[in-house]
Structure 1
Amino acid sequence: MSEKKRFLLRLDPELYDALERWASDELRSVNGQIEFLLVDALKRAGRLNRGTVRDRDPAKKR
């Protein structure tokens, strides 16, 4: 597996809190939840080819 890219992300505290609650509900870290949401959005928009990123089924929990 290739190394993941790291970068700083600034979020509004209310947005972070909402993401943290959602991630907890789905048994993910906040980072994992953000990555999950980005992959799903990119696939839906047709901007990410299958197999480009670890293939995940948005309907399934880890």
Structure 2
Amino acid sequence: MGERKAVLLRLDPAVHDALARWAADDLRSVNAQIEVVLRDALKKAGRAPKDAAPLPKRGRPPAQPRSPSGKGHHRLPE
């Protein structure tokens, strides 16, 4: 997957506040919510790119396995 693009977006404060509330309800950041809305709009318009990477998974990354002593993380053999 290529590097994600950064875009400066100017929004009316009321629109941003509404997006922030919606994002919080869906446990997403405002940025992730905007991407979901844009992807849905592209799909509805029949313009969704076929080669777009899937949205990154939400939430925390999986925990690293603990060492047998229960202290810290251990590295798996390479």
- Report the TM-score, using the length of structure 2 for normalisation: 0.64
Report the number of matched residues. 56
Q: Greater relative contact order: 1 or 2 (C-alpha under 8 angstroms, separation 6 or more)?
A: 1
For 2:46 and 2:22, locate their aligned partners in 1 and report how far apart those are by CA, in whole Å.
25
The residue that corresponds to 1:45 in the other structure is 45
- What value does the CA root-mean-square deviation take over the aligned residues? 1.5
Following superposition, which runs of at least 4 residues in structure 1 exceed 3 angstroms of deviation? Answer: none
- Report the TM-score, using the length of structure 1 for normalisation: 0.79
Unaligned runs of 5+ in 1: 57-61
Query: Counting helix residues as a fraction of each chain, which structure ranks higher?
Result: 1
Pick the structure with greater CA Rg.
2
